[in-house]
Structure 1
Amino acid sequence: MKLLKNKTFLSMMLGVLWSAPFLFESMWPLAVLSLIFMVYALSEYNTVDLIKYGSLVIFVQNIIAVYWMKALSPVAWILVALILASEFAVFAYLFASLRKRVKRQKNILWLIPFAWYLYEYSRGLGMFKWSWTNLGNWLTWNSDNMAFASVVGLNGLSFILMLFAVSLYSSITKKDKTSKAICLCSLCFIYGFPLKNNIDDFEGEATVRIVSNGKAAIERWDANVLNEIKQFYLEGSSNFETEPQVILWPESAIVSEYPSDVVANISKKSNVPILYGAFINDSENFHNVYGVSYPNKQYLEKPYEKRFLVPMGEFVIFRKLVTEIMPDYGWPVRDVSPGDGGGDIVVNNLNIGPLLCWEALFPEATRTQISKKTDFLVVASNTSWFSQNATQQFSRLIKMRALESGRNMISIITGGGSSIVDINGKVLFESPLGEDLFQNQKIKIQKRNTIFNKFGDFLLLFPSIIICLLNIRRK
């Protein structure tokens, strides 16, 4: 009992519990229930304690989550967790300031879901974008739990979880009927009731060929292995019985710059356009791109440029400091430049919306890539730098993006784990991790105009800001 009264111990245990649903499906209900401790802290702790112990929860949660990703050095794990904890510290200070100026003290409790929404939304802004450990991602195991993502998106699911925690806390402490009703309604939303996504209608079908090598990214720096990989892509992209409309490669399929003569020759031999990930490296910019090589050796002159970059992977935060601390780690010599994105890639009457790897974590990246003509989305990734746990979690996030966008999604991953997900969040196809993949797949062209696709985060963003402002007492 003494340990439960120890705020440091309790905060560390909450951090551990909040990280568990990213690895274990059975843990997310317990993590949701534990949110009442954060509700208590936000409503009752003084400013210093809220900043100190709340930041500790976020630090522990994220250092464990980043550790499970296994892609970064220990220094990078700590640095990422510290940045996220400092962001929470700012939020905690602002919320504590808001508490002091609220007109009616009883409203403080019900401001928490709206304030939390603004906190998680703000984590997706700026250069250091992060949504991997948002609360809503606890629900990615089952598409029914994510049903309301088509209405409110990832941050909206976090809002619903926090609304459930607040109403549960209020039901226990105040025992009022309104809180119990809200608690029941929010619980229904968490389990997808009454909204069920069961869209079966489709406009047509496309035949695509997915080609992805099962070797991990680190192996590609061996020249002999790289030649073997190139031979794999040549054979996998040209030996087929039924000609596909397009061949899809992942991010960093082969180490090359864009446009690639190697890919051009393979496209010519297969007589099919190939979409592939590569780099554009010039004196001013270094872009991670997704482009097209056509059978006539032409190429897409303006490929899709990656907009959302991986912190400590594609760019190094506090580069001078970090490289001095760990000079031999193998940090990238040059940071990747954030790009301008691009529209649909059109090949053989197919309008394909491209995304590159880390971008699939962000609802807004997917939403802004959709047009009325977009037939389906392709996420080209290289998560083989990460652990298998991270790749599996990444694949679950694809389901939420499909629900939000109202488009079927094809995820092509270097190192295995590629998948096809329909607009209902159902996984139609998934390849094993670490195994080669070269096969044709039929994908239905389905389009649904979701509420989130139309309004995005603005559906809850503006109301959250307004509600917080209206509750401030003027001096």
Structure 2
Amino acid sequence: MRDRPVRPIILASASGILLPLCFPRFDLGLLAWISLIPLHLALDGSSRWTAFRLGWLTGTIGFTGIMSWVVTAMHTYGKVPLLVSYAIMLLLTVYLGLFVALYSAGLVWFRSLVPRYGLFAAPCLWVSLELVRTYLFSGLPWSLLGYSQYRQIDVIQIADHLGVYGVSFLIVLVNVAVAELIAWLMPLFRGFVPARLPWELVTTSAILVGLSWAYSTSLIVSEERRVPKSLLRVGVVQPNVDQAMKWDKAYRDETLKRYDRLTETLGAGTDLVVWPEAATPFLYEREPLYQLQLLAIAHRAGAPLLFGSPAVRFNADKKPFLLNSAYFLSPQGALLGRYDKQHLVPFGEYIPLKSSVLFFLDKLVEGIGDFEAGPGPTVFSFTPKTPVPGQTDAAVTRTVKFGVVICYEVIFPDLVRRFAANGAEFLVTITNDAWFGDSSAPMQHFSMVVFRSVENHLAFARSANTGISGFIDPFGRIIRASPIFTEEAFHAEIPALQSRTFYSRHGDVFAYGCVLISLILILFGLFRTEGPAHSTVAATPV
């Protein structure tokens, strides 16, 4: 009997160890469908407080494995002492682990509130907590469970209605169903008569997985037959500029020459050239000499140029502030538009509550100052060289619209879908992932772009300073992805589609529906009349 308390801890730890394996760089996405089973078995017969602690253990171990790159970003590039970096990472992962703790306690509670059928609400609770994580304290929806399936194209097309949260829902439902099935089978091996077979959960999960697969495969087959209104030849540049040299004035000329040389290799047939976030090692609007050099590069490219550069503006009291901006230049040097990053990175681009509570802190990464958020989504337009498919006249072209998101913004589903809702026909993301070093973070970051493509059925082009740069088609298939820390430029043909998915139009309706279901159950539990029938937790022996 002494080893009984140890068994749930081992099971909860096992789920924590399995979770990081589902994401890059391990990339064993299929494990996600069984990774939570040990935790669910550990919760069987537990009290809510015990379930909370077991879930917290699972979440802390899991997120420590997933977010280990935080140490690299802070210590190597932020110059934070190594021990302090580990302490901050642990503080972050303990916080993220709380969401798994709340899920675990809630699951046990729901099962006691509605015996046998309360577990149907478990995936709703998980999705609700993922949605809270997306917005709470500025939001950190990094490595939501659904992202583990970014390579399973024949399953994830449901995201065009349900978002990434729908895939998370499906994964959790399967984990719950299989765990209950195992719990039902275990007494058979001990010579006991098992409880009633949880056929409702098993059948529901099997049907929903089957419907997801059928919808995804049929959608891809049918949509591939459509002729896109435009096929654009987009080129991305990955300069691989060392972060330590990026803002050193001594390397400005060398950096611009590198961009010039790489851009020239894209060739004359390119419709759009994309450089990364903060590509210019200077403030574009404040350096006339370097500005002329950049305009000359755009002219030689013979195509519109999209690039990142900080911009400076002034408040009413003449106090300056910075914007993380993307500029869009014509080949003739005219400014076609500018987009200012809306969702900034806390402790990377600004310090939350710096004027009152956290006045003693400085940013964890080296840079040129604090930034402020831009006003909202901006859609650019241009006329490509490529003719419209099906037209014999090569001169027949049309205006194409696209949106650009900068770095961290791409992990926020609702933010990206607003560009699609505003008329974007393809999307671009520019980033500087050099802060992550040679860790799992660049691939984790890239994998999330797959879901932004699927949710809106729009192609994505991605330019990153040190990688990963590449292209993703409207169904989430990776057309090309570059290795990290390589210097290269390449192009691909991507479709420009006027595609308006349910998700593009309505956003996270499904996720908020899950929140509503969870709240109804919680209110039922808080206000129900207590009685003898509710004094104990119905548990299946394992």
Quickly name the TM-score band, shorter chain normalised: 0.7 to 0.9
**1:111-166 alpha-carbon deviations (Å, 9 max, x no partner):** 21111111111111144311222111111233224232222111111111111122
The residue aligned with 1:289 is 325
2-structure distance, mates of 1:407, 1:108: 38
CA shift, 1:216, in A, is 3.7
Matched, 1:436 2:459: no
Q: Does 1:339 align with 2:374?
A: yes
Report how far residue 41 of structure 1 moved. Answer: 5.6
The TM-score normalised by the length of structure 1 is: 0.87
| Pairing 1:310-325 to 2, within 5 Å after superposition | 310-316=345-351
Output the amino acid matched with 1:438: A
Of the three residues 399, 408, 421, the one matched with 1:358 is 408
Q: Aligned partners of 1:267 and 1:421: how far apart in 2?
A: 25
Matches within 5 A, 1:125-136: 125-136=135-146
Q: Residue 384 of structure 1: SS of its match in structure 2?
A: helix
- Match for 1:177 among 194, 199, 212? 199
Counterpart contact for 1:217–1:382, Cα < 8 Å: no
- Alpha-carbon distance between aligned partners in 2 of 1:426 and 1:330, rounded to the nearest angstrom: 33
Moved more, 157-166 or 11-20: 11-20
CA contact (8 A) 1:406 1:447 kept: no
TM-superposed deviation, 1:289: 1.5
1:273 aligned residue: 304
> How far did residue 3 of structure 1 move?
8.9
Kept in 2, the 8 Å contact 1:411–1:420? The answer is yes
Aligned partner (choices 89, 92, 108) of residue 80 of structure 1: 92
Contact 1:46 1:96 in 2 (8 A): yes
The normalised TM-score by structure 2 is 0.77
CA gap 1:79/1:290 in 2 versus in 1, 3 angstroms: farther
**What is the rounded CA distance, in whole Å, between the counterparts of 1:7 and 1:31 in structure 2?**
20
Q: Radius of gyration: which is bigger?
A: 2
Q: Cα offset for 1:212?
A: 2.3
Deviation at 1:52, TM superposition (A): 2.2
Q: Residue in 1 aligned with 2:164? A: 154
- The structure-2 alpha-carbon separation of the partners of 1:113 and 1:407, relative to structure 1 and needing over 3 Å to count, comes to same
Looking at structure 1, the residues matched to 248 and 142 of structure 2 have their Cα atoms a distance apart, in angstroms, of 31
In structure 2, do the counterparts of structure 1 residues 176 and 328 end up closer, same or farther at CA, with 3 Å as the change threshold?
A: closer
Residue aligning to 1:71: 73
Change (3 A) 1:410 1:367: same
Work out whether residues 288 and 336 of structure 1, in 8 Å CA contact, stay in contact via their aligned partners in 2.
Answer: yes
The one of 277, 282, 289 aligned to 1:256: 282
Using the aligned pairs only, state the percent identity.
20
The one of 108, 111, 115 equivalent to 2:121 is: 111
Does residue 1:298 correspond to 2:300, yes or no?
A: no
User: Where does residue 461 of structure 2 map in the other structure?
Assistant: 410
For structure 2, which runs of at least 5 residues remain unmatched after alignment? 75-84, 185-195, 314-318, 384-398, 529-542
| Unpaired runs of at least 5, structure 1 | none
Q: Distance in 1 between matches of 2:408 and 2:340?
A: 13
Structure 2 match to 1:51: 52
Report the Cα distance in structure 2 between the residues aligned to 1:59 and 1:433, rounded to whole angstroms: 28
Q: Partner of 1:247: helix, strand, or coil?
A: strand
Equivalent AA in structure 1 for residue 231 of structure 2: E
SS across alignment from 1:17: helix
Q: Structure 2 vs 1, CA of residues 222 and 238 (structure 1 numbering), >3 Å: closer, same or farther? A: same
In 1, Cα distance between equivalents of 2:479 and 2:27? 23
User: Which residues of 2 match residues 28-47 of structure 1 at below 5 A?
Assistant: 28-40=29-41, 44-47=45-48
Residue matched to 2:14: 13
Structure 2 residue 238 is matched with structure 1 residue 212 = yes
Q: 1-side partners of 2:364 and 2:452: how far apart?
A: 34
**Rounded Cα–Cα distance in structure 2 between residues aligned with 1:111 and 1:368:** 29
CA gap of 1:384–1:26, structure 2 versus 1, over 3 A, is closer
Residue aligning to 2:474? 423
**Letter paired with 1:71:** A
What one-letter code is carried by the residue in structure 1 that aligns with 2:73? A
Q: Deviations over 1:336-384 (max 9, x none)?
A: 3232332211122221111111122222122111136322100111112
How far apart are 1:68 and its partner, in Å? 3.6
Structure 1 residues 222, 11: CA separation in 2 closer, same or farther (over 3 Å shift)? farther
Q: Distance in 2 between matches of 1:248 and 1:158?
A: 32
- Secondary structure of the structure 2 residue equivalent to 1:105: coil
Per the TM alignment, residue 185 of structure 1 is displaced from its structure 2 partner at its CA by 2.1
Please give the alpha-carbon distance, in whole angstroms, between the structure 1 residues aligned to 2:406 and 2:414: 14
Distance 1:57 1:219, change over 3 A: farther
SS in 2 for 1:366: helix
Secondary structure of 2:156's aligned partner: coil
1:391 aligns with 2:442: yes
Cα 1:421–1:324 shift into 2, 3 Å = same
- One-letter identity of the residue aligned with 1:39: H
CA drift of 1:322 comes to 8.3
**One-letter code of the match for 1:181?**
T
Sort the Cα spacing of 1:112 and 1:444 in 2 relative to 1 into closer, same or farther, 3 A.
Answer: same
Instruction: Give the counterpart letter for 2:68 in structure 1.
Output: Y
The match for 2:216 is: 195
Tell whether the 8 Å contact from 1:403 to 1:423 is kept in structure 2 after alignment: yes
1:375 and 2:391 correspond: no
Deviation at 1:93, TM superposition (A): 6.2
Q: CA contact under 8 A between 1:204 and 1:445: conserved in structure 2?
A: yes
Q: Is the 8 A contact 1:3 1:9 kept in 2?
A: no
Secondary structure in structure 1 of the residue aligned to 2:200: helix
Cα distance in structure 2, aligned partners of 1:34 and 1:167: 13
Paired residues, number: 470
Asked if 2 retains the 8 angstrom alpha-carbon contact of 1:42 and 1:50, the reply is yes
SS in 1 for 2:135: coil
**Distance in 2 of aligned mates of 1:42 and 1:114:** 18
Give distance in 1, aligned partners of 2:109 and 2:345: 33
Residues 306 and 328, structure 2, Cα contact 8 Å, conserved in 1: yes
Amino acid at match of 1:253: A
Q: Does the Cα contact within 8 Å between 2:344 and 2:350 map onto a contact in 1?
A: yes
Q: Distance in 1 between matches of 2:321 and 2:509?
A: 32
Q: 1:83 to 1:218 in 2, by over 3 A?
A: farther
Secondary structure class of the residue paired with 1:195: helix
